[in-house]
Amino acid sequence: MENPKQEKKQINNIEFIISFVYIIIWVVMYTLSYYQHRIFNKILWENVLAEWLIITVLMLVFFTNTYVLVPKLLFLKKYIRYISITLVFTISFVGLGVWLQQSFRAQNQQQLPAMEIGPGLPPMELSQSMPAPLGYKMNNEHVQKPILLIFVDYLIIALLVVAAGSTLRILTRWIKEEERRKDIEKIQLRTELELLRHQVNPHFLMNTLNNIHALVDIDIEKSKDAIIRLSTLMRYLLYDSSKGKTSLLKELDFIDSYIMLMQLRYSEKVEIRTEIQENLPDTQIPSMLFISFIENAFKHGVSYRQNSFVHFRMKKVGNSLLCTVRNSKHEKPAKEKNPYSGIGMNNVKRSLELLYQNNYTLNINETNTTFEVTLSIPIG
């Protein structure tokens, strides 16, 4: 997860890139206007400057709306005020722009083209102050459009510019919010996984200490061995599981030690069997992922009065790691409606959802005498 300074720098970079793109677009608009009024080697500067004047007005409308009106009004859900101010501002600026453009054109009005009088006679120069002679036809480019139509045309263009700016600003904000939401989800994911792990560790420690307590009165030597094994397990919990991920082989060593520790507690009536495929890849997996299944198997599948069993099997199938935990099932008191639920099992289900989304398979098969959990997760 990026720290706040990096996140702020990333957002500033996005803002800079977007602003740079805006500037490039408006530079292109100015350039197109320049080339539009260039005839051969002659540049009609009066027309170019007149177009640049109205483009400048449109650019001011665009940037004012994008960086002032939208953040200050639209994003704060002041919709009526935003629409009203935007319309008044746009109409006023467009009106001012059209007036300045027409004033500029009037001051720099071009001379009418010379009229050919006849063969051998020099062309007659025409002045703007005098009416055109009878029969003289002006080129269409000299016909002036009514100022009202000019205003309406530029107003429509300005409104389209405003709409485009608002849309881009909203889209930009959505992208930034989406990035921020993903960052928050990453923080929540890590926090929740850490919380789940911290819930598992005390639960496991409590069960293990109960096992050692039971061994103290039965066999001192076995209890000493159990304490040594427990220290090994706690070392794993403190230095490996806290990292979030661990190697598969370390996780299997932890499981094997745990099962051997549990084996010290039970008599030969409890069949404990492990089947681990040889040469499993030492890939990275979430730590403490399988231990809750094994805990539940010992907790709910072992009876001191009846023959019981706990079987653990792990193998690689294609690109997936398949883990199966199977245990005997005995009648429970009626008040235990679902003896196989609990903190451990619920935590594993929640962890799987957070870690793998839908890219895993968890099957629970239950009969009158057996309970089996099969988990398949992808591995590299």
pLDDT reported for residue 122? 58
Banded pLDDT at 257 (limits 50, 70, 90): confident
Q: What is the mean pLDDT of residues 358-368?
A: 90
Percent of the chain exceeding pLDDT 90 equals 17
Answer whether residue 322 shows pLDDT above 90. yes
* Domains of the chain and any CATH numbers: 4-110+142-183 (no CATH), 218-378 (3.30.565.10)
Mean pLDDT of the chain: 78
More confident position, 261 or 139:
261
Q: What is the mean pLDDT of residues 125-138?
A: 52
HSE-CB of 221 using CA atoms within 13 angstroms: 0
Strands laid side by side in the 361-366 sheet: 270-276, 308-317, 320-328, 370-378, 361-366
The owner of tokens 């016909």 is 143
Amino acid identity at 221: E
pLDDT reported for residue 16? 76
Task: Average the pLDDT over each of 22-36, 131-145, 262-276, 304-318 and give the range with the smallest value.
Answer: 131-145
* List of residues 6+ apart from 235 with CB closer than 8 A: none
Taking the C-alpha atoms of residue 314 and residue 88, their distance in angstroms, rounded to an integer, is 72
Answer whether residue 145 shows pLDDT above 80. no
More confident position, 79 or 347:
79
Whether the model pTM is above 0.75: no
Question: Is residue 281 within 8 Å of 248, Cβ to Cβ?
Answer: yes
More confident position, 179 or 327:
327
Answer whether residue 1 shows pLDDT above 50. no
Q: What is the mean pLDDT of residues 214-220?
A: 78
Question: Per mean pLDDT, which of 39-48, 145-154, 240-249, 304-313 is the most reliable?
Answer: 304-313
Banded pLDDT at 169 (limits 50, 70, 90): confident
Question: Per mean pLDDT, which of 12-26, 131-145, 187-201, 241-255 is the most reliable?
Answer: 241-255
| Parallel, antiparallel or unpaired: strands 270-276 and 245-247 | unpaired
Banded pLDDT at 223 (limits 50, 70, 90): confident
pLDDT reported for residue 2? 45
3-state SS of the chain is CCCHHHHHHHHHHHHHHHHHHHHHHHHHHHHHHHHHCEECCEECHHHHHHHHHHHHHHHHHHHHHHHHHHHHHHCCCCHHHHHHHHHHHHHHHHHHHHHHHHHHHHHCCCCCCCECCCCCCCCECCCCCCCCCCCCCCCHHHCCCCHHHHHHHHHHHHHHHHHHHHHHHHHHHHHHHHHHHHHHHHHHHHHHHHHHHHHHHHHHHHHHHHHHHHHHCCCHHHHHHHHHHHHHHHHHHHHCHHHCEEEHHHHHHHHHHHHHHHHCCCCCCEEEEEEECCCCCCCEEECCCCHHHHHHHHHHHCCCCCCEEEEEEEEEECCEEEEEEEEECCCCCCCCCCCCCCHHHHHHHHHHHHHHCCCCEEEEEECCCEEEEEEEEECC
Q: What is the mean pLDDT of residues 81-88?
A: 92
Q: What is the mean pLDDT of residues 204-233?
A: 77
88-120 pLDDT tens trace: 999 998 888 888 888 877 776 544 455 555 565
Taking the C-alpha atoms of residue 331 and residue 221, their distance in angstroms, rounded to an integer, is 34
Q: Any bridge partners for residue 322, and if so which?
A: 315, 376
The whole-angstrom distance between residue 35's C-alpha and the CA centroid of its chain comes to 43
Question: Is residue 183 within 8 Å of 198, Cβ to Cβ?
Answer: no
| Residue 329 Rama label (left phi>0; alpha psi -120 to 50; beta) | beta
Banded pLDDT at 334 (limits 50, 70, 90): low
